[in-house]
Structure 1
Amino acid sequence: MKEKAKVDEEKEDPKGVPEFWLTVFKNVDLLSDIVQEHDEPILKQLQDIKVKFFDPGQPKSFSLEFNFKPNEFFTNTLLTKTYTMRSEPDENDPFDGPEIMGCTGCTIDWMKGKNITLQTIKMKQRHKGRGTVRTVTKTVLDDSFFNFFNPPDVPESGDMDEDTEAILAADFEVGQLICEHIVPRAVLYFTGEAIEDDDDDYDEEGEEADDEEGEEEENDPDYDLKKDANPPAECKQQ
């Protein structure tokens, strides 16, 4: 009984379960796709994620707060991501729901040599005149979950190139997923129950849709059961 009580207590407090949030991320396809192997040692230090909604009267927005243990990668113990949403109805589509208009990340104070969002590559350059070759180093952006905290800026005009639009669309999807599904049902995503529930809902919707299609066909006065059950003779011949 004591062991069971201990397990139940840990489930209620995600901070007490080792690698709780890393396991949650790896159980969700959308998040596991952006978590890289070099992200995992850091995400093991993630203690909690909280959603903070802004006060009434302010633009409809929310912040995601990621609380970390002191670690060897960065000095921050709190990383934040804030989303600003359009709360007024769209004149062109008044029935459309709230829409994320922009997001702001935070600065990660990386320890020296620990910034996993950057990688140093070596390139060979040939001198046009002399033909000599030299090796130069260049720092480029590397794939990492922690790029989530450094989203591209949204121009005030709203005009963006296709690449920026794609990055922001993916970013918004992740932000909404964490806010609306992951945080409220974190324990169920940790155990995998939430994923099973999602699959069950999908199957039920599919079966219901099939049933509705069958009913529509049966109620259709032009639908001839005998004709459907007995296709023309030439269709039977091979």
Structure 2
Amino acid sequence: MGTVERSGDDHTSEVESGEEEEIVGGGELAQHLLKSGITRNEMLAAITNRIHVETLAALPPNVRRRIRALRSLQKEFVDIEAKFYSEVHALECKYEKLYKPLFEKRAHIVSGSYEPTDDECLNPWRDESEEEELARAVQGAAITDGSEKKPAEEEPKAIEPAMDPNVKGVPDFWYTIFRNVSMLCEMMQEHDEPILKCLQDIKVQMHDDPIGFTLEFHFAPNDYFTNTILTKEYSMKCKPDEENPLEFEGPEIYSCKGCEINWKKGKNVTVKTIKKKQKHKSRGSVRTVTKSVQADSFFNFFSPPAMPEDPNSTLASDIQALLTADFEIGHYIRERVVSRAVLLYTGEGLDEDDDDDYEEEEDSYSDEDSGTEEVSDVED
């Protein structure tokens, strides 16, 4: 696509031909907007609006009058729709309180602080015999593994192993879920794994005013940070914009706040140290300096970008896109991961994308090599 360039005191502007074709119909308006110094997106929006106005202006007066009436009806619909979404959120808050005791008991079972009764372990809606037979078959395979296969009549009968009193709860419950769910697995790096094995529970706290929710990640004591809980808070608005009410499409995220992670010395997995060679431009001497840069890590999830002061800037648009993707992750964790954790652990509740059996090749490189560059114009 073309770019807008300005130079000198007269603020002259040029648009490449490809962009001129894209904004057909702009004419003098486009030149005026360009000289005003607005962004390309704002320019296109203004021109699009101008085209819509011109289209309506071509209609007979009585038709335009009826269109205005239809807009008023649409505004009434939007007001009702906003109320609907507000009531839906209030209903979610109500039922979140009913879910809470179930999730607390789940946490106790997973951690091993509570052993369920025989009655609590019954699943009358499913046949457990297949599961038991498979468990015995797996045990039988383990017994004969590495030895010469015997005739069928001499094969030892697989016996269900006795319960190991040293196994507490469900080991690696949440870590396994992270491995199973593609959205979370893509965020998780190898250096994150020992930390996520310390993840004991994920809880959701709903908010009434402003509407929204907070995700709480509860960790056991570990070698990486001193926090016991990491939080991610989402705030949304459910009211139509006063200046553009007809653009309302439901609750919209307007704020996203993470938390500070108190990393122990040398244990911060969200940063890495790279080495760069710098060459003095006059003496020709070379020195090596180290620099800390952001590293890929799931724990960057707790440091979302902040919106710039100007909501109409190009940077704000880019950050809004990042926040939208971030919100999709938070919403998925709230709606799917927390509510259906056991099904994601066993694989029963995985989406098709999560259950694909494929492998991807990974590029192998060292941090030092990837971050090394020659700088030839550095002065002391």
TM-score normalized by the length of structure 2: 0.47
Q: Give the Cα–Cα distance (whole angstroms) in 1 for the partners of residues 310 and 272 of structure 2.
A: 33
The alpha carbon displacement at 1:145 in A equals: 0.1
2:169 is the alignment partner of 1:14 = no
Evaluate the alpha carbon distance shift between residue 13 and residue 40 of structure 1 in structure 2; reply closer, same or farther with a 3 A threshold: same
Q: Deviations over 1:146-188 (max 9, x none)?
A: 0000011023542452553443232111111101111011111
Q: 1:83 aligns with which of 234, 239, 261?
A: 234
Q: Secondary structure at the match of 2:253?
A: strand
Task: Choose from 246, 255, 262 the match for 1:92.
Answer: 246
**Given that residues 107 and 201 in structure 2 are in contact (C-alpha distance below 8 angstroms), is that contact kept between their aligned partners in structure 1?**
no
Aligned length: 187
Shift of 1:69: 0.2
Matched, 1:37 2:190: yes
Q: Is the 8 A contact 1:11 1:187 kept in 2?
A: no
Give yes or no for the alignment of 1:118 onto 2:271.
yes
Q: Identity of aligned pairs, percent? A: 56
Pick the structure with greater CA Rg.
Answer: 2
Q: Among 46, 49, 52, which residue is 2:199 paired with? A: 46
**CA apart distance, 1:13:** 2.9
CA distance in structure 2 between the partners assigned to 1:157 and 1:53 by the alignment:
29
Alignment of 1:1-238 (within 5 A): 13-15=109-111, 16-54=169-207, 56=208, 58-90=209-241, 91-94=245-248, 96-159=249-312, 160-161=314-315, 163-195=318-350, 198-199=351-352
Instruction: Decide whether aligned partners of structure 1 residues 167 and 93 sit closer, same or farther in structure 2, where only a CA change above 3 A counts.
Output: closer
- Root mean square deviation, CA, Å: 2.1
Q: Distance in 1 between matches of 2:194 and 2:183?
A: 19
Q: Which moved more, 1:22-31 or 1:153-162?
A: 153-162
What secondary structure sits across from 1:180 in the alignment?
helix
For residues 84 and 131 of structure 1, the distance between their equivalents in structure 2, rounded to whole angstroms, comes to 54
Change (3 A) 1:137 1:11: closer
Q: Distance in 2 between matches of 1:51 and 1:125?
A: 49
Q: For residues 251 and 322 of structure 2, what CA distance do their matches in structure 1 show?
A: 20
Structure having greater relative contact order (Cα 8 Å, sep ≥ 6): 1
State the AA in 1 paired with 2:229.
Answer: L
Structure 1 residue 115, shift from structure 2 partner = 0.2
Larger fraction in strand: 1
The gaps in structure 1 that reach 5 residues or longer are 1-8, 200-238
| TM-score (norm: length of structure 1) | 0.73
User: What is the SS of the residue equivalent to 1:92?
Assistant: helix
**C-alpha displacement at 1:22, in angstroms?**
1.1
2-side partners of 1:69 and 1:179: how far apart?
A: 21
Cα gap change, 1:110/1:85 in structure 2, threshold over 3 Å: closer, same or farther? Answer: same
Q: In 2, distance between residues paired with 1:146 and 1:171?
A: 13
Say if 2:278 and 2:289, in contact at 8 Å, map to a contact too: yes
Q: Is the 8 A contact 1:14 1:187 kept in 2?
A: no
Say which SS state the counterpart of residue 246 (structure 2) adopts.
coil
Unmatched 5+ stretches in structure 2: 1-104, 112-168, 353-380
Note the C-alpha offset of 1:193: 0.7
Q: How many angstroms does 1:93 deviate by?
A: 3.1
Specify the SS of the correspondent of 1:190. helix
